[in-house]
Protein backbone atom coordinates (compact mmCIF):
# COMPACT_ATOMS: atom_id res chain seq x y z
CA UNK A 1 0.00 0.00 0.00
CA UNK A 2 1.34 3.45 -0.83
CA UNK A 3 1.46 6.03 1.96
CA UNK A 4 -1.64 8.19 2.45
CA UNK A 5 -1.04 11.69 1.18
CA UNK A 6 -2.32 13.25 4.37
CA UNK A 7 -2.42 11.70 7.82
CA UNK A 8 -3.14 13.27 11.20
CA UNK A 9 -2.73 11.15 14.30
CA UNK A 10 -3.49 12.17 17.86
CA UNK A 11 -3.48 15.88 17.01
CA UNK A 12 -4.09 18.32 19.86
CA UNK A 13 -4.58 22.03 19.23
CA UNK A 14 -5.79 24.51 21.78
CA UNK A 15 -5.61 28.27 22.04
CA UNK A 16 -5.11 30.44 25.11
CA UNK A 17 -4.90 29.17 28.69
CA UNK A 18 -6.71 29.20 32.02
CA UNK A 19 -10.20 30.64 31.75
CA UNK A 20 -9.58 31.55 28.13
CA UNK A 21 -8.55 28.06 27.06
CA UNK A 22 -10.25 26.94 23.85
CA UNK A 23 -9.76 23.25 23.06
CA UNK A 24 -10.24 22.84 19.33
CA UNK A 25 -8.74 19.42 18.56
CA UNK A 26 -8.08 16.67 21.09
CA UNK A 27 -6.40 13.54 19.77
CA UNK A 28 -7.87 14.05 16.29
CA UNK A 29 -7.13 11.49 13.57
CA UNK A 30 -7.70 11.87 9.84
CA UNK A 31 -6.38 10.08 6.77
CA UNK A 32 -6.93 11.24 3.21
CA UNK A 33 -5.71 9.03 0.36
CA UNK A 34 -4.50 9.98 -3.10
CA UNK A 35 -7.42 11.00 -5.35
CA UNK A 36 -9.81 11.24 -2.41
CA UNK A 37 -11.97 14.30 -1.82
CA UNK A 38 -13.16 14.74 1.76
CA UNK A 39 -15.70 17.42 2.65
CA UNK A 40 -15.41 19.07 6.07
CA UNK A 41 -18.77 20.32 7.31
CA UNK A 42 -19.07 21.87 10.78
CA UNK A 43 -20.64 24.96 12.36
CA UNK A 44 -18.75 28.22 12.49
CA UNK A 45 -16.21 28.22 15.34
CA UNK A 46 -15.94 24.41 15.39
CA UNK A 47 -12.35 24.48 14.16
CA UNK A 48 -12.46 24.04 10.37
CA UNK A 49 -9.88 26.73 9.64
CA UNK A 50 -7.67 25.43 12.44
CA UNK A 51 -7.78 21.92 10.95
CA UNK A 52 -6.99 23.21 7.46
CA UNK A 53 -4.11 25.35 8.76
CA UNK A 54 -2.68 22.34 10.60
CA UNK A 55 -2.96 20.14 7.49
CA UNK A 56 -1.32 22.89 5.43
CA UNK A 57 1.55 23.20 7.94
CA UNK A 58 0.63 26.84 8.55
CA UNK A 59 0.12 26.06 12.24
CA UNK A 60 1.64 23.39 14.47
CA UNK A 61 -0.26 21.16 16.88
CA UNK A 62 0.71 21.13 20.58
CA UNK A 63 1.06 17.37 20.19
CA UNK A 64 0.37 14.63 17.68
CA UNK A 65 1.74 14.01 14.21
CA UNK A 66 0.88 15.33 10.76
CA UNK A 67 2.35 13.35 7.89
CA UNK A 68 2.41 14.50 4.29
CA UNK A 69 3.04 11.59 1.90
CA UNK A 70 4.54 9.63 4.77
CA UNK A 71 6.85 12.41 5.93
CA UNK A 72 6.33 13.25 9.63
CA UNK A 73 6.39 17.01 10.24
CA UNK A 74 6.40 17.42 14.03
CA UNK A 75 10.19 17.63 14.30
CA UNK A 76 10.80 19.82 11.29
CA UNK A 77 12.25 23.30 11.75
CA UNK A 78 10.56 26.37 10.23
CA UNK A 79 12.55 26.31 7.01
CA UNK A 80 11.98 22.63 6.35
CA UNK A 81 8.26 23.02 7.09
CA UNK A 82 7.97 25.93 4.70
CA UNK A 83 9.88 24.01 2.05
CA UNK A 84 7.66 20.93 2.48
CA UNK A 85 4.51 23.09 2.42
CA UNK A 86 5.57 24.82 -0.80
CA UNK A 87 6.38 21.58 -2.56
CA UNK A 88 3.42 19.49 -1.42
CA UNK A 89 0.42 21.65 -0.45
CA UNK A 90 -1.95 23.75 -2.59
CA UNK A 91 -4.41 26.13 -0.92
CA UNK A 92 -7.68 27.55 -2.31
CA UNK A 93 -9.38 30.34 -0.37
CA UNK A 94 -12.93 31.70 -0.41
CA UNK A 95 -11.69 34.82 -2.17
CA UNK A 96 -9.41 34.10 -5.09
CA UNK A 97 -6.48 36.42 -4.19
CA UNK A 98 -5.32 36.46 -7.82
CA UNK A 99 -2.78 39.16 -8.68
CA UNK A 100 -4.85 41.82 -10.49
CA UNK A 101 -2.11 43.13 -12.78
CA UNK A 102 -1.33 39.70 -14.24
CA UNK A 103 -3.30 37.56 -16.70
CA UNK A 104 -4.94 34.27 -15.74
CA UNK A 105 -2.06 32.39 -17.37
CA UNK A 106 0.59 34.47 -15.58
CA UNK A 107 -1.13 33.89 -12.24
CA UNK A 108 -0.75 30.13 -12.76
CA UNK A 109 2.79 30.41 -14.16
CA UNK A 110 4.10 32.53 -11.26
CA UNK A 111 4.23 29.94 -8.45
CA UNK A 112 6.01 27.57 -10.82
CA UNK A 113 8.71 30.14 -11.67
CA UNK A 114 9.19 30.70 -7.93
CA UNK A 115 9.64 26.92 -7.57
CA UNK A 116 12.33 26.98 -10.28
CA UNK A 117 10.34 25.66 -13.26
CA UNK A 118 11.37 27.07 -16.66
CA UNK A 119 9.05 29.57 -18.34
CA UNK A 120 8.06 27.30 -21.27
CA UNK A 121 7.31 24.30 -19.09
CA UNK A 122 5.42 26.51 -16.62
CA UNK A 123 3.26 27.93 -19.41
CA UNK A 124 2.52 24.44 -20.74
CA UNK A 125 1.50 23.24 -17.27
CA UNK A 126 -0.64 26.37 -16.73
CA UNK A 127 -2.44 25.83 -20.05
CA UNK A 128 -3.02 22.17 -19.22
CA UNK A 129 -4.66 23.17 -15.94
CA UNK A 130 -6.72 26.02 -17.41
CA UNK A 131 -7.91 23.58 -20.05
CA UNK A 132 -8.81 20.92 -17.46
CA UNK A 133 -10.78 23.52 -15.51
CA UNK A 134 -12.54 24.81 -18.63
CA UNK A 135 -11.03 28.31 -18.57
CA UNK A 136 -8.36 28.02 -21.28
CA UNK A 137 -10.15 30.62 -23.47
CA UNK A 138 -9.63 33.14 -20.64
CA UNK A 139 -5.85 32.62 -20.40
CA UNK A 140 -4.94 36.15 -21.48
CA UNK A 141 -7.60 37.92 -19.40
CA UNK A 142 -6.87 39.78 -16.18
CA UNK A 143 -8.88 38.82 -13.07
CA UNK A 144 -11.10 41.94 -13.29
CA UNK A 145 -12.26 40.80 -16.75
CA UNK A 146 -13.42 37.41 -15.43
CA UNK A 147 -16.58 36.18 -13.71
CA UNK A 148 -16.42 35.01 -10.08
CA UNK A 149 -16.57 31.36 -11.17
CA UNK A 150 -13.78 31.86 -13.70
CA UNK A 151 -11.63 33.65 -11.13
CA UNK A 152 -12.10 30.80 -8.69
CA UNK A 153 -11.22 28.15 -11.29
CA UNK A 154 -8.02 30.05 -12.03
CA UNK A 155 -7.26 30.18 -8.30
CA UNK A 156 -7.70 26.38 -8.26
CA UNK A 157 -5.33 26.05 -11.24
CA UNK A 158 -2.80 28.20 -9.38
CA UNK A 159 -3.10 26.04 -6.24
CA UNK A 160 -2.49 22.93 -8.37
CA UNK A 161 0.35 24.37 -10.46
CA UNK A 162 3.24 22.72 -8.63
CA UNK A 163 1.61 19.25 -8.48
CA UNK A 164 0.64 19.41 -4.78
CA UNK A 165 -0.02 16.06 -3.13
CA UNK A 166 -2.52 17.74 -0.79
CA UNK A 167 -5.14 20.33 -1.79
CA UNK A 168 -6.87 22.27 0.97
CA UNK A 169 -9.81 24.56 0.33
CA UNK A 170 -11.61 26.85 2.75
CA UNK A 171 -15.12 27.58 1.44
CA UNK A 172 -13.94 27.63 -2.18
CA UNK A 173 -17.46 28.28 -3.48
CA UNK A 174 -18.65 30.42 -0.55
CA UNK A 175 -18.68 33.52 -2.66
CA UNK A 176 -20.51 32.10 -5.70
CA UNK A 177 -24.13 31.56 -6.79
CA UNK A 178 -25.43 27.95 -6.64
CA UNK A 179 -25.03 27.18 -10.34
CA UNK A 180 -21.49 28.53 -10.47
CA UNK A 181 -20.64 26.76 -7.19
CA UNK A 182 -21.65 23.51 -8.86
CA UNK A 183 -19.43 24.14 -11.85
CA UNK A 184 -16.43 25.11 -9.73
CA UNK A 185 -16.86 22.14 -7.38
CA UNK A 186 -17.07 19.69 -10.29
CA UNK A 187 -13.96 21.25 -11.83
CA UNK A 188 -12.13 20.90 -8.52
CA UNK A 189 -13.23 17.27 -8.22
CA UNK A 190 -12.08 16.46 -11.76
CA UNK A 191 -8.74 18.05 -11.01
CA UNK A 192 -8.25 16.04 -7.81
CA UNK A 193 -9.10 12.75 -9.54
CA UNK A 194 -6.91 13.63 -12.51
CA UNK A 195 -3.89 14.66 -10.45
CA UNK A 196 -4.29 12.06 -7.70
CA UNK A 197 -4.08 14.68 -4.96
CA UNK A 198 -5.71 14.28 -1.54
CA UNK A 199 -8.26 17.01 -0.87
CA UNK A 200 -9.90 18.38 2.24
CA UNK A 201 -12.59 20.94 1.47
CA UNK A 202 -14.40 22.96 4.13
CA UNK A 203 -17.84 23.91 2.90
CA UNK A 204 -21.25 25.00 4.20
CA UNK A 205 -22.85 23.80 1.00
CA UNK A 206 -24.51 20.46 1.80
CA UNK A 207 -25.36 19.66 -1.83
CA UNK A 208 -21.69 19.87 -2.75
CA UNK A 209 -20.51 18.05 0.38
CA UNK A 210 -22.72 15.09 -0.59
CA UNK A 211 -20.77 14.80 -3.83
CA UNK A 212 -17.46 14.35 -2.02
CA UNK A 213 -16.08 10.82 -1.47
CA UNK A 214 -16.92 11.20 2.21
CA UNK A 215 -17.93 13.82 4.73
CA UNK A 216 -16.34 14.51 8.11
CA UNK A 217 -17.20 16.90 10.92
CA UNK A 218 -15.61 18.03 14.19
CA UNK A 219 -17.08 16.75 17.43
CA UNK A 220 -15.59 16.75 20.93
CA UNK A 221 -12.18 17.63 19.52
CA UNK A 222 -12.23 14.71 17.07
CA UNK A 223 -12.65 14.43 13.31
CA UNK A 224 -15.61 12.06 12.87
CA UNK A 225 -17.58 10.66 9.90
CA UNK A 226 -20.72 12.63 9.06
CA UNK A 227 -23.81 12.15 6.93
CA UNK A 228 -26.09 14.87 5.62
The residues binding ligand ADP (CB under 6 A) are 15-16, 22, 24, 42, 44-50
Cα-based distances in Å from 194 to 13, 165, 198, 209: 33, 12, 11, 19
15 C-beta neighbours (distance < 10 Å), count = 12
What's the closest the beta carbon of residue 91 comes to ligand ADP, in angstroms? 14
Is the CB of 42 or the CB of 146 nearer to ligand ADP? 42
Is the CB of 121 or the CB of 224 nearer to ligand ADP? 224
What's the closest the beta carbon of residue 47 comes to ligand ADP, in angstroms? 4
In the chain the first and final C-alpha atoms are separated, in Å, by: 31
User: Nearest CA to 95 among 148, 141, 157, 48?
Assistant: 148
| DSSP secondary structure letter of residue 117 | -
Is the CB of 60 or the CB of 139 nearer to ligand ADP? 60
Q: What whole-number distance in Å separates Cα of residue 31 and Cα of residue 33?
A: 7
Is the CB of 191 or the CB of 202 nearer to ligand ADP? 202
What's the closest the beta carbon of residue 50 comes to ligand ADP, in angstroms? 3
What's the closest the beta carbon of residue 183 comes to ligand ADP, in angstroms? 25
Amino acid sequence: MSKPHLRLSGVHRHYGEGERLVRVLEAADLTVESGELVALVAPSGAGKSTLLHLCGLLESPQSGEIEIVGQPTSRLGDRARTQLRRSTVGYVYQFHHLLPEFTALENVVMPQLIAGVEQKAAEARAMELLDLLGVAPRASHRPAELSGGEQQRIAIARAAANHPRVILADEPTGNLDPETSDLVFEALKDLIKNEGAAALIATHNHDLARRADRIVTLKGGLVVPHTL
